[in-house]
Amino acid sequence: MPICPPTAVGRQLLALFAAHADQVVPSCVVTEELWPQGAPPDATRVLETNLRQLREAIAAALSRRGEDPSIENVLAPVPGGYRLETRGGFSDARAFARTVGASYRTMESGDLAGAAARLREALALWTAAPFADVAQGPHLRAQSALLVTSWERALDHWIDVETRRGRARELCMDLSVLLLRFRSTAPLYERLHSDLLTGHWGADVIRRHIMRRRRATLTVQRGIGQLRGARPPRWDTTAVAAGAGEGAMTPLGGA
Q: What is the pLDDT of residues 125-168, one digit of tens each?
A: 999 999 998 999 999 999 999 999 999 999 999 999 999 999 99
Per-residue pLDDT tens over the stretch 182-241: 989 999 999 999 999 987 788 999 999 999 999 888 876 666 666 666 555 544 444 443
Give me the pLDDT at residue 243, please.
Answer: 42
Beta bridge partners of 234: 253
Distance between CA 152 and CA 154 in Å, rounded? Answer: 6
Q: What is the mean pLDDT of residues 17-33?
A: 94
Q: Which residues contact 29 (CB under 8 A, 6 or more apart)?
A: 16, 81, 139
- Tell me the whole-structure pTM to 2 decimals: 0.80
Beta bridge partners of 26: 81
* Cα distances (angstroms) measured from residue 217 to each of 13, 109, 146, 224, 237: 36, 27, 18, 11, 13
Give me the pLDDT at residue 217, please.
Answer: 83
The angle formed by the CA atoms of residues 65, 68 and 70, to the nearest 5 degrees, is: 130
Distance between CA 16 and CA 21 in Å, rounded? Answer: 9
The 10 Å CB-count burial string (b at 16+, else e) for 161-182 is: bbbbeebbeebbebbbebbeeb
DSSP letters along 76-136, please?
Answer: EEETTEEEE--TT---HHHHHHHHHHHHHHHHHTT-HHHHHHHHHHHHTT--S-TTTTS--
Residue 62 has pLDDT above 80, yes or no: no
Percent of the chain having pLDDT more than 90? 62
Average pLDDT, the chain: 84
Q: Are 55 and 71 in contact (CB under 8 A)?
A: yes
Per-residue pLDDT tens over the stretch 90-109: 788 889 999 999 999 999 99
Distance between CA 9 and CA 31 in Å, rounded? Answer: 11
Distance between CA 19 and CA 217 in Å, rounded? Answer: 29
